[in-house]
């Protein structure tokens, strides 16, 4: 539509009203998140954590976001379970991805599980937009191991190969609204598992995103209780053993289904 200007170069009343309306609406929260991430991750590289001030910038935006800010409603089909022998399907909504960062939303029906997996060289922000979820996460604890280790396991020798010690970071239920969870390349629970207790949605920011050619492959794990495996020279007090576990790499679970869907919330510019 052509904007109308009077002979003196002044805008007419209709145009002024439209501009005032635009200013009143303001910038959407998801647009603000994108702009903040673009600023924060501009000079970051794999394994390089943003400064505490920059981490706080992203956290401050995410902490104020809800499902309504990204066009979601709990009664949408993504969040409904179907009667099946297989675990519920998870839906992923792609908002943005570049070589510096990605923004996306995982939509989980009740009982859906995102299995234990890692985030190599990444800083990750996860915001529970609505619902209830259990999060279990680990960080590597190789510093506790003797230089030479000989595992003696109560599981099969095949399962014992490739085991790696990890320390439990989080093992709790979360209910929205809650603070944003943040993990780092070597801290904060870099390997985590999400279990939906109710229908829920998680907004994820990854900096940088996964990239197989650059070595940032999503690796899945099984975890085994610390007490099931003994290592010569490694001693942990009995009351602290529940804080540790042995992780073993595994293939992507065959029953894990993550389907992409079109994001229909506020536009990113």
Which pLDDT score, from 0 to 100, does residue 1 have? 45
What length is written for the chain? 269
Domain count, the chain: 1
Instruction: Give pLDDT tens digits for 183-194.
Output: 999 999 999 999
Instruction: Give pLDDT tens digits for 126-157.
Output: 999 999 999 999 999 988 766 545 555 554 44
CA distance 179 to 62: 8
Buried b (16+ CB within 10 A) or exposed e, 56-66: ebbbebbeebb
269 located within any domain = no
Domain span at residue 196?
A: 28-147+162-261
Instruction: Give pLDDT tens digits for 66-124.
Output: 999 999 999 999 999 887 778 899 999 999 999 999 999 999 999 999 999 999 999 99
- The answer on pLDDT for 237 being more than 60 is yes
Confidence of residue 248 (pLDDT cuts 50, 70, 90): very high
19 located within any domain = no
Which pLDDT score, from 0 to 100, does residue 26 have? 82
Instruction: Give pLDDT tens digits for 187-236.
Output: 999 999 999 999 999 999 999 999 999 989 999 999 999 988 887 778 78
Output the average pLDDT for the chain: 88
218 located within any domain = yes
Confidence of residue 13 (pLDDT cuts 50, 70, 90): low
- The answer on pLDDT for 11 being more than 70 is no
CATH code, 225: 2.60.120.10
Which pLDDT score, from 0 to 100, does residue 64 have? 97
What residues contact 104, with CB distance under 8 A and at least 6 apart?
A: 92, 93, 94, 95, 97, 203, 204
Which pLDDT score, from 0 to 100, does residue 81 have? 85
């Amino acid at each position: 539509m052509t904007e109308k200007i009077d002979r003196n170069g002044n805008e007419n009343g209709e145009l002024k009203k439209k501009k005032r309306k635009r200013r009143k609406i303001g910038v959407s929260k998801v647009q603000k998140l994108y702009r903040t991430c673009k600023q924060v991750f501009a000079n970051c590289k794999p394994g390089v954590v943003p400064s505490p001030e920059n981490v706080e910038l992203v956290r401050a935006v995410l902490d104020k976001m809800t499902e309504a800010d990204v066009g979601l409603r709990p009664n949408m089909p993504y969040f409904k379970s179907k009667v099946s022998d297989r675990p519920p399907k998870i839906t992923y909504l792609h908002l943005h991805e570049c070589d510096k960062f990605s923004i996306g939303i995982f939509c989980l029906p009740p009982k859906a599980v995102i299995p234990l997996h890692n985030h190599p060289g990444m800083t990750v922000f996860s915001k529970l937009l609505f619902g209830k979820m259990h999060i279990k996460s680990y960080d590597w604890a190789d510093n506790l191991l003797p230089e030479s280790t000989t595992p003696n396991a109560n599981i099969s020798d095949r399962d014992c190969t490739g085991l790696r010690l990890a320390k439990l970071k989080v093992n709790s239920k979360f209910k929205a609204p809650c603070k944003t969870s943040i993990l780092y390349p070597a801290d904060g629970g870099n390997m985590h598992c999400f279990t939906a207790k109710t229908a829920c949605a998680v907004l994820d920011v990854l900096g940088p995103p996964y990239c197989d050619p650059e070595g940032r492959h999503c690796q899945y794990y099984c975890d085994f209780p610390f007490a099931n495996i003994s290592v010569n020279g490694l001693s942990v007090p009995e009351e602290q053993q529940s804080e540790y576990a042995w992780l073993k790499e595994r293939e992507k679970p065959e029953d894990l289904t993550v389907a992409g869907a079109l994001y229909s919330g506020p536009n990113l510019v």
